[in-house]
Each structure stands twice: as C-alpha cells, then as structure tokens.
Structure 1
Amino acid sequence: MKNILIGTAFFLLWVPKSFSQGNTEYTGGFKVKFNEDGSKYLRMIAWGQFWAQYNDNVPDDVSTTNLSVRRARFLTFTQLNKKFLILTHFGLNSLNGNNISAVGKEDSSQLFFHDFWGEWQVHKNVAIGTGLHYWNGISRMNNSSTLNFLTLDNNRPSWAVLGLSDQFARHIGVYAKGNIGRLQYRVSFNEAITNTLDASNDPIPNGRAVYRGRELLGSADAGKVIQGYFDYHFLDQESNFLPYKVGTYLGSKRIFNVGAGFLTHRNGTVIADGAGNLEGENVNIFAVDAYYDAPLGEDGSAITAYAVFQNNDYGRNFNLGPYGTGNMVYGHVGYLVSGPADKSRVQPYVSYQTRSIDAIDDNATRLGLGINLFMTGHHSKLTLEYANSKIGSGDNNGVVTLQAQIYL
C-alpha cells in the first residue's frame, strides 16, 4: 500500500506541465443556437469519472484493487425564451466488475434520469418548476455539483435522504427559487418514494425507527417532503440558474456565503411499541454552513474552505449506513498552489467528518487527505485521496482512490 501511495503521488507530480489550466473557448458546454443572438438554444454537457481504488480491509477472496466508472452523465437544457426552460440529465453511477451486466440489461448497467424538470420564470427574481429535480434543502453540500468537487467526492451523509425519500438525491415535486438582494433561496414540496433503502427492515417492538412511513402508514399519513436552503452572499454572487453548487472556483471568484437549510417529512419513519403497534415519527434535518473561496494574491494561489453543522433526526435510534439520528460536523479546506494560469495546477486538501450516532451511543469519523491535479481546470483533472474512516468501536478502514475526470 505504501508503494502504491508513493508511486501514484510521483505520477501526479511528474505529469508534464504543458497542459492549459483553462479552456477559453468553453462557455458552458456545446451550444446549438436556434437564432442569431443565441437566446434560443440547446446546451449539452457530458462528463465521466473513472476510479482505481485500493482497500486492504476486505475478505481474503476479494481483490484489494478494483476499477469502476464512478459517474457517466449527460445533461442538456434548452430555452426558446427566458420565460421557460426544460432540463434533462441522465446517466449511471458506480459501474464495476460486480454489477456490470453480461448483455447490459441489468439494473446497474441501465441509464436512468437523474433530473428532468420544467421551469417557468414568473418574476425577474422568481422561478417555479416541477418534475424530478435537485433543488434541495439542508445545506450547500446537499446541492453539490458533481463536476467540480474540491474533494474526491461529496460528503456522503450530506445527501441526507438519498434513497430514503428520494432517487439519488432527487425528488419528484414542485420548487421555487430566486433571490432577494444578496439572499438566495430554494424551497420545494415533494413526493417521497415507497421502495426505500430501508425496505428490507421491518419494525420490531421497541426497535429502531424504519424509513418506511409512506409504505406502512400510507401516503396520506406519511405526508410530503418539504425542504429549503437559504444562503446570503457577502462578496461575489453565485449563479442560481441551475441548482448545482460549485465545490471550488480555483480562485476565479471571491465568495463568502453563510447558509441555513432544513428538510422535514411528517411520519417519514415508523416505530413499533412493545405490543408491535405501529406509530409514525417525523424526520427533521437542519443545517447551518459557511463557504469561502478566494484568490490569495497575484501569484494564482487560492483557498477554498467549507464547514457545516447538521442535526439529523430520523426518528428513534435510526441508523442505516451513512444515515443516523444524531449530529454531524464536517469541514474541508484546500489550497491551490501558485503558478501560471496556463499550466497544470496542484491543489492539496484535507477533509474531516464526525457524526454522533444515537443508536450506538458513539461516533463515526472520516479523515480525507487528497490532492488534485488540474490539467485543464475541472475539465481534465486527476485526484488522489486517502480516506480513513471508523464507526464506533470498529476497526479503522483505509482506502486509496485515484480518479480521472473529463467533462465537456
């Protein structure tokens, strides 16, 4: 493992410095203009993330090294005028040797919609939309773009109801978004899924809450998912044309935002009393966060920093993988090393997460140490990360991942 780390780090630092840091011709994807001034258009964006991962904490008959397609995505949106928009986003996630299909027809091999929504501009600063959408609540991280992470990937518990009430962090519902001066907002009212990741667990007397409220209590009693996120922009204002929050701007903007958000789902989980009678419990999640991204001088160096506190209440003693009733604190910071903008750039970073888990009366922690090599900004980059995680009194688990990303 030590040799792998040294060899991969050497590769990242050795890559020739002849690549451009940014593409001056890139204006947000391939654009098809339907009129001369480009106000009627179709825009297309495609990206892929490819992983090589080493994990020595596996059974003896399992390979310690594996290759996968972390994400394969295609997104398009179009406007015939500024009054309305339609967006389509489809692709697949985490395709590997264990779930790929011999003839490409099994579930993991299939493309599916990540987003599909229509939006209408009802006022200069207000838009309303409906469909399968990503206008989420809770925090910036729950609205993250997968194109421009600072870290290798998102902080997993920040997508706090992924697979519990939504499909891969997307709900079917209606949303409103806009801004009041420097305050941006997004709120939504959504359906909850029935076939949750918790579907194989049944309520047991005096056991933990189970995220099956809509299935076991019925859609009328379980209620809808309501969420929102509000952030105030002290310096440069970010775009909210699309919902995807940028991970790092590489010093191209000066951003300082403070935000707060929530998600509530009435009777989203179910508990059983001593006699086995079912009762619903409300799911309530709340977070406050801060984001800073700015150049540090004229030499091209920059800093990116983020911190969030999140309170998770999924019901009594709920605990399922990255989800659990309790509190979470997460933060990361990255430093873009100085250098010419037309050369490859290096950005080391560190991330840390700690979660209290009521069900085990203990904490879970994760430390990430990584480095990005930007060959053409986020359009062509390599990321090497070592992550060490621990849950309660369990053993530490160390994983090394090398990612190659291309997006056009």
Structure 2
Amino acid sequence: MKKIILVAGLLYSALTFAQGAPDYAGGLKVNINEDGSKYFRIISWAQVWAQYNGDKPLDANGNEQSEIDFTVRRARVLLYSQISPKFLIVTHFGVNNLNAGSMSPTGTGDGSQMFIHDAYVQYNLGTTNKHAIGGGLHYWNGISRMNNSSTLNILTLDNFRQGWATLGLADQFARPVGVFAKGAFGKLQYRVSINDALTNNLAVSNVPVNGGAATYNGRDLLGGKKAGKTFSGYFDYNFLDQESQFLPYKVGTYLGDKKVFNIGAGFFSHPNGSVVADVNGDLSGENVSIFAVDAFYDAPIGGKGSSITAYAMYQNSDYGKDFRFGTTYETGSILYGHVGYVIPTEKETKLQPYVSFANRQIDALDDNATQFGIGANLFLKGHHSKLTLEYQNLKYATADAVGTVTLQAMIYL
C-alpha cells in the first residue's frame, strides 16, 4: 500500500507542479498515509543572472572590470513535512550569489558553500489550527510584507534590498534564531517573534568614533544581557481573498489568480543594538527601532488573463545616530512602490511589464538616494519557468548614478 501511495504522489506532482500556482500548490508532494495527513514536500529552484554594468570602478589592482558578469543568484531546496495536522517541520538550504568573485578552486571556500536558511518546528494550537507557535531558525519576520517576501514569485527582478531591513545585522540572511507565534483573528493575520541578535554580524568590526555615528554591533561590544534580544511583528488585514499563512513567505504577484487587498503594519526593536562613544571614548547603547506601513493589491482586470499587482511601503529606520553601512542601510526613512500589469492573452505564455521606484532619506548625509527600475517578466509556465529583464538606476546622494541591466532565468519545481 505504501508503494502505491508513493507512486500516486509522484504522478500527482508530475502532473501539477508545472501549473505555476503561486500559492505553493506545486512541488514534489509524497503522501505517506492514505488520507494525506502525513506527507513531505520538496520544492527546488534556481535563478541565474547575466548582468551588464558599464559603470564599475577599477579593481584593487587598478584594472578595468568586466562589464558583463554571470551569477547563480539563488539555488535552493525547501523541504517541509507533517506527521499530523498539529506538527510541521521546515528545512530550507541553498547557496546565494555564486560568481567569479565568490567561487573557490575546489568548492570549499565560504562563498561556495550551501547553508541553512530555515530550520524550524511548529505546533498548531486549538481545534481549528488557526494559531501556531514555533521555534528555530525562521522567517516569521516583522516590519513589512517585503521583509517576509518569497523569492519564488517576486514581481520585480529581486526584492528591494532595504526591504530586508535587518539582513546580516541582527540575523543570518533575514532569518533569526528564536521563537514565534502566528495566526489569524478573522481577516487580521499576525506574526510576532522574540529572537537572539546576531553577534558576528556585518558590522562587527566597526569601532565607534568618539562623538561620532553609531555602529550596529551592540551584542558584540555590550554583551548579550544588554543587547542580546530582538523583537518583531507584522500585522495585515485581508479585505478580499485570504492569503495563506501556512509558510512564512509572502507572495509577490498572484498573476490574477486571487483578488487580494491587504493593509499592513509592522515593527522591529533591538534594545541597545547600536553603540556610540562619547568624547571620552565611553560606550553606551542606542536602541534600534524600525517600523513600516504598507499596502498590497493583486487582482484580475479586464479579461483574457490580464491582472494588476501594486505595492507601496513607507519605512522609518532608526539604526542609531547617523548610522550608515555602505549604501545599503542607513538611519532615515524609505518610500517604495512598484506596479506590474499582465498583458491580456489567452496563451500560456504571459508578459508582465513593471516599474518600481524608491526614495531613501539619509540622516547622516542630509541627502537622499533614489532608485528607479523598469522591466518585464516573461512567464513560460507561470512562476515555475520565467525570464526577467530589468534596467535599474541608483543615484546615491552626491555620487554618480549607476545603471545596471540584468537578465534572469528562473525555474522552480
């Protein structure tokens, strides 16, 4: 009997995963009992980039760099399983940004290595399973929809980088280790968590300058008792169709398969997460506080498979006094939005042009960064097979604007 169930599960997956359903109906699902209450599912995907940038600076040896580069942007495997409707385990691993600069001769270097993205357990509560608690390395983040976005069905080429507002500063690649609770009260969905802050973060080697800007390395410099915990939450009200909260990953575009209109708000708090030094060199902590409000709309429009997707977000980021980390993170505020439209067609292949815009106000520079993107997704099998071409232009404060053209090929099974 088990062999029959296994074969049936494999056949079912082979027939359904190519439909491109953005609500994770695809993947290799194998039932291990007759009613399907015990199962495991595997999802695998890869995104490959060819990128042109004619504005690159000289390398460390003073030589010109290549204008065209190739990158394995993501190669991932996600496995989740249930032994009953009450228990769930999620494991997610893979590699990111594998290119000429991160590869190693025999595949043993840090940049070549796969690592764990998610590894958590979840326990459903009550008779309706609408609420759950869990723990581990998880993605039940706060702040905004973008800070919880899936990489399988982003509308634009990639997620707006500042949307992952704590990646590498307080967590491992947008995943903290801690405990979470999630669920819904009617149409209001919630996710909240308490987590350990990352000690060895991107800014761990920064040293606070006397009377200068804050550095985000509170746990390293002040210790775990003062700066060891972070707190986050996100709440969104689903006015129309209810979105799934089975997994933490927020869909970027449904291609008109749902009619969704959500308004959300969220926060992130890290007491003493940043550090400043007074004129005598004495250290003290500054609280890191981030909050955002956003809105998401996705619905069919007109006929023949056309649809519209729109998203807008305002985020206020306080990483400490005049904090800046490269051109990625800074204390200030962000206004971001994008919109995409699926052109009407009765064919399986669909074209979705889109535009995006961001304006970031930077306290330390008393200036702004603006980012504009225009591109299109060509869906060959829904989200399961698509090509994306995008031009993006970034103007950071007084620096010259940088334009980049990227072609992405993506397949997920």
TM > 0.5: yes
Please say if residues 21 and 374 of structure 1, whose CA atoms lie closer than 8 Å, have aligned partners that are also in contact. no
| Aligned: 1:327 with 2:330 | no
Aligned counterparts of 1:40 and 1:298: Cα–Cα separation in 2: 39
| TM-score (ref. length: structure 2) | 0.92
Q: How many angstroms apart in 2 are the aligned matches of 1:325 and 1:208?
A: 10
Q: Give SS of 1:129's match.
A: strand
Distance 1:208 1:383 in 2: 39
Q: Give 1:122 deviation, angstroms.
A: 1.6
Structure 2 residue aligned with 1:8: none
Preserved CA contact (<8 Å) 2:216 2:275? yes
Partner of 1:252: 257
Residues 21 and 343 in structure 1, CA contact (< 8 A), matched pair in contact too? no
Q: Distance in 1 between matches of 2:102 and 2:145?
A: 31
Q: Is the 8 A contact 2:20 2:383 kept in 1?
A: no
8 Å CA contact 2:194–2:229 kept in 1: the answer is yes
Please tell me the residue identity of whatever aligns with 2:151. Answer: T
Q: CA deviation at 1:21?
A: 8.6
AA aligned opposite 2:357: Y
Among 172, 196, 199, which residue is 1:194 paired with? 199
Alignment map for 1:263-282 (pairs within 5 Å): 263-282=268-287
Contact 1:390 1:397 in 2 (8 A): yes
Q: Which residue of 2 aligns with 1:48?
A: 46
Residue 368 in 1 paired to residue 373 in 2?
A: yes
Match of 1:63 among 61, 66, 76: 66
CA deviations over 1:98-137 (Å, ceiling 9, x no partner): 1101111010111100000000012232100000000000
Aligned mate of 1:303, from 305, 308, 312 = 308
| Structure 1 CA distance for aligned equivalents of residues 184 and 360 of structure 2 | 32
Once residues 178 and 349 of structure 1 are traced to their aligned partners in structure 2, the CA distance between those partners, rounded to angstroms, is 32
Q: Is it true that 1:182 corresponds to 2:180 in the alignment?
A: no
- The one-letter code sitting in structure 2 at the alignment partner of 1:117 is Y
Q: Does 1:225 align with 2:230?
A: yes
AA aligned opposite 2:266 = G
Question: Aligned equivalents of 2:41 and 2:317: distance in 1?
Answer: 38
| Higher mean C-alpha displacement, 84-93 vs 193-202 | 193-202
**Contact conserved, 2:40 with 2:81, CA < 8 A, in 1?**
yes
Confirm or deny that 1:119 pairs with 2:125. no
Tell me whether 1:336 sits opposite 2:342 in the alignment.
Answer: yes
- Contact 1:353–1:365 (Cα < 8 Å) also in 2: yes
How many corresponding residue pairs?
A: 387
Shift of the 75–207 alpha-carbon distance from structure 1 to 2, 3 Å rule, reads same
Is structure 2 residue 206 aligned with structure 1 residue 209? Answer: no
Is the partner of 2:244 in helix, strand or coil? coil
**Matched residues in 1 for 2:100 and 2:353: separation?**
30
Amino acid of the residue matched to residue 222 of structure 1? A
Residue 397 (1) aligns with residue 406 (2): no
Q: Which moved more, 1:210-219 or 1:200-209?
A: 200-209
Residue deviations 1:161-219 (CA, integer Å, cap 9, x gap): 10000000000000000000000000000001111111221111011110110010000
Match of residue 347 from structure 1: 352
State the distance in 2 between where 1:130 and 1:244 align. 16
1:400 & 1:182 partners in 2: Cα distance?
40
Give the distance between the partners of 2:383 and 2:285, measured in 1 at CA.
44
Cα RMSD over matched residues?
Answer: 1.3
The aligned residue for residue 37 of structure 1 is: 35
Query: What is the Cα deviation at residue 23 of structure 1?
Result: 5.3
Which portions of structure 1, spanning 4 or more consecutive aligned residues, are displaced by more than 3 angstroms? 20-24
CA distance in 2, matches of 1:347, 1:186: 31
Structure 1: where are the runs of 5+ without partners?
1-19
